[in-house]
Amino acid sequence: MRELLVGVCLAAATVAAAGQHPPASGESQSFEVATLKQNTSGERLSGIRRLPGGRVVVTNMPARELITFAYQLGQYQLFGGPGWLAGDRFDITAKMQGNAEWEGPGSDRPDPIRVAMRGLLAERFTLKLHTESRELDAYALVMVKAGVTGPRLRPSTTDCNALMQQARQGKQPPPPPATNGIAPCSMRTRIGQISFDGYPISQAAGLMVFQAGRPVLDRTGLSGNWQFLMTFAPERPVGAPIPPGEQPPPADPNAPSFFTALQEQLGLKLESTKAPFDVTVIDSAEHPADD
């Protein structure tokens, strides 16, 4: 079964991992073989997929997005580097060394695909990075009225920890059915839509970065896990590529703006603030040659 690695489900995990540092020398996951070519097709769709047998396929990805994927960074956390890192796109076909299985977000070990990608970036792109703290413009996610949630924001009844534990034990129970059009234990951003179930609001704050245009910090005071389906008029590009074969939902000319929908549907709002963040700075990178 194919698993989309860079796509609509990963935005929250990316921001939730804010401030991660380059890998420790003890991290040994790596690609056994890897071929790399620059993609000059002019296409815009891109993505990373995990395939059976430890294979990984990268399609049409800018190097800058490969870096944010590998180190689990939000775009706002990556600074510096030559312009081609954002402009030039690459295809990579690789095979993992050894067992590339991963339990998913929330597991106690890093995704081996991400760790292996760090090694490839260091070797093929001669990438050198360092981390530092910077104060950035941000938004605080707060409640419009204390203790009162919007009509679409409700506590989740999905036990994601139990499902993850079953997966770690090798059990594959059938997934629970979707409720209110929301897949259980999911975090998804699509064009004009965010769906969310089974995780804390702090994870949802991460999903809002792409529409808000700044990092978002959870200041709601809400505890526990939550569920919502939020719809709005898209004013910014979707936060991740659309998977092949999936059509974006039709635009609703009457849909509210993102900021209005946040208040009317979830009972939340964004307030401007500043906050310190760990950021990653690109010291140097070299354009790789095709294999």
Helix then strand then coil, % of the chain, to nearest 5 = 25, 35, 45
Q: Give CA–CA dist 263/43, Å, rounded.
A: 36
Full DSSP string of 39-69? E-S-----EEEEEGGGEEEEEEEEHHHHHHH
Provide the pLDDT for residue 53. 81
Q: Give CA–CA dist 80/131, Å, rounded.
A: 12
Q: Give CA–CA dist 227/156, Å, rounded.
A: 5
- Confirm if 290 and 37 have CB atoms less than 8 A apart: yes
Q: Give CA–CA dist 190/246, Å, rounded.
A: 10
Per-residue burial over 201-226, b = 16 or more CB atoms within 10 Å of its CB, e = otherwise: bbbbbbbbbbbbebbbbbbbebeebb
Mark out the alpha helices in 130-274 (DSSP H runs).
Answer: 160-168, 201-207, 209-212, 258-266
Q: Give CA–CA dist 291/285, Å, rounded.
A: 18
One pLDDT digit (tens) per residue for the chain, 291 residues: 223 333 333 333 333 333 334 444 344 588 999 999 999 999 888 889 888 888 899 999 999 999 999 998 988 899 999 999 999 999 999 998 766 666 555 556 778 899 999 999 999 999 999 999 999 999 999 999 999 999 999 999 888 877 777 666 666 656 666 667 788 888 888 888 999 999 999 999 988 988 898 999 999 999 999 999 999 998 755 444 444 455 555 666 788 999 999 999 999 999 999 999 999 999 999 999 998
Written as six digits, the tokens of 151 are 């009509």
